[in-house]
Amino acid sequence: MVAMVEARKGTKTFEEAVTLTGFGKYNLFVLLATGSALMCVIIETMNAMFITPAARCDLELSLSDQGLLYSISFFGVVAGSHMWGYLADTKGRRKVVLFSLISSAITSFIGSLVSITWLFILLRFINGILVGGSSAIIYAFAGEFHDNYYRPKVVSYIATFVAIGNMYLPGMAWIILPYQWNYNIAFLDINFRPWRLLMIIYATPSLISAILVYILPESPKYLLCQGENEEVLRILQKMYRTNTGKDKTQFPVGALTSDESVEGLKHEKNESMLRSMWKQTVPLFRKGYILKTAMVSYLHFAIFLSTSAVIMWYPQILNSMSEYGNIVPVNEVTMCKAILFDGKDYENQIPDNSLGSDITRSIASETCVDTSNEEVFLVSLIIGCVYVVAYTFIGTFINTFGPRRLLIAFMTFTTLSGILAQHLSGHIYVEVALGVFLVAATGVGIVNAIVVELYPTQIRGMALAVSLCIGRFGAMTGSNIGGPLMLQLCDYMFYVFSAIHLLVVIIVLLLPKKKPDVPKIDTEDVEKTSPNNNTESDSVQK
């Protein structure tokens, strides 16, 4: 009887069927679950801003150790991104996100109880690899619950949780780090101080997010690619019932057909992981996709590099201006004068080859000081609030203006603000101008929306993973060169960023206006160039 009822219903493509489910409570829960996972990525990769200065005495961190900790999580994300993209496209988005969230939280909990420097750094690297699973595919996971109209809006709104993460970081640090309590745990040979509690608090949202993601099903579009049509139909019926309040039997779709080439996601169980990963990656660098892959990878790289070069050193910049303001009138304080003043004092106390590892005099002093300037927490919290406004604006107007126009506008406005920061006098004015420049980081969400639109389902996860991998490499590079660049080329720093951002604008103008038909992949060539090609009977699914 049920089969007869379903037979009388129409056959729709996935895009048509998911549109018929409407947009409502179910979609908002998808947004909450996936957005919280992205927030956890930000918290885990960026917490070095507050953990490292507070932990440097307990862990006896050298200048090079501190510089390494600022970038080691990004390096971990880069190291694991390709693997996560492969696993997302072959094993499923939901499984990858769940494993990523739970395992990264566990490594942070362990790290909070470590007293050995090299082990702490190693755990942060492993944490970066693990948290990279969510970073690589969360946009694809969320986007595949939506149709073409809502997909870019949802992907952009998810990025709002980046801002929430950037508010959570200084907010929790401001509450916890000012305390000076100290509990000795003899059997672990550690002093449990506020920064260790802060690490636990930073890791806890990952477990909460894992519960939310666990409630979600696998991506319906991914399941359709795997031939699980009946399961996809059940998911769509539940979405329809939750969004509309109507009975699921009223869902006007009885069968589904794919509107994309989906066979590429079907994974041969007997082939090696290396070979399957190779076959997942090769299409991104073949005719029809290689240029797009290079273009979106640069967009991610440029935005991550310039913003990370500033934000990871932002607390030190504020401290430098604050100290310089104690010597000269506040209205005469400029960013570069403060940094160079601090740098000269720093240079007199440490070897030349250590220049650029930090830009604060307190680091160079013989007495270990790990107290925090509370002004840093306030300013960082305000920047997080600005991020919320920016991401909300993007999510609201991305369909109205288009992602390309929005990205060009954001990059132009923030770049001009950065140049202005170099020439302004006055502590507050410089802080505001630098804060506006950091809003450029919200462009990552726009780029992700562009990537989701440009690539079909079977390689979308890998495309996001590869481009974000290049982006995280940019973050790692920026966080390392930020200090030396400020000390040695401060007067030209934002002009360097301007040139980088100008190329971003040019590339955005050259991007395809819409996703073309999926090009046919020459699977024989892939097979010939595939590593670990041991059997003639193995074939690439088209």
pLDDT of residue 140: 82
Mean pLDDT score across all residues of the chain: 80
Quick count: other Cβ atoms within 10 Å of Cβ 192? 16
CA distance 247 to 136: 36
Q: Where are the domains of the chain?
A: 2-279+288-364+375-512
Confidence bin at 358 (pLDDT 50/70/90) = very low
pLDDT of residue 275: 66
Q: What is the pLDDT of residues 451-475, one digit of tens each?
A: 878 888 677 777 877 888 888 888 8
Topology of domain 2-279+288-364+375-512, CATH = Growth Hormone; Chain: A; (1.20.1250)
pLDDT of residue 169: 93
Q: Which residue has the higher pLDDT, 372 or 362?
A: 372
pLDDT of residue 542: 33
**Whether pLDDT at 541 is above 70:** no
Q: Average the pLDDT over 56-79 and give the result.
A: 81
Confidence bin at 532 (pLDDT 50/70/90) = very low
- 253-257 and 10-13: which strand pairing? parallel
Q: Average the pLDDT over 28-36 and give the result.
A: 94
Task: Report the percentage of the chain scoring pLDDT > 90.
Answer: 28
> Residues 388, 88: contact at Cβ < 8 Å?
no
Longest dimension (CA), the chain: 86
The helix or strand, by DSSP H or E, that contains position 190, with its residue range, turns out to be: strand 190-192
Q: Average the pLDDT over 339-346 and give the result.
A: 59
Please list the alpha-helical segments (H only) found in 273-402: 273-281, 290-311, 314-324, 335-347, 361-364, 374-401
Confidence bin at 349 (pLDDT 50/70/90) = very low
Confidence bin at 259 (pLDDT 50/70/90) = low
For 377, list phi and psi in degrees, rounded to 5. Answer: -65, -45
The Cα angle at residue 76 between residues 273 and 380, in degrees rounded to 5: 145
pTM as predicted: 0.75
Confidence bin at 3 (pLDDT 50/70/90) = very low
Q: Which residue has the higher pLDDT, 285 or 208?
A: 208
Q: Which residue has the higher pLDDT, 120 or 285?
A: 120
Q: What is the pLDDT of residues 371-389, one digit of tens each?
A: 666 777 888 888 888 888 8
DSSP 8-state class, residue 56: T
pLDDT of residue 538: 38
Q: Average the pLDDT over 230-258 and give the result.
A: 88
Q: Average the pLDDT over 518-537 and give the result.
A: 43
Confidence bin at 96 (pLDDT 50/70/90) = very high
Give how far Cα 235 sits from Cα of 222, 242, 350, Å. Answer: 12, 11, 62
CA distance 203 to 197: 10
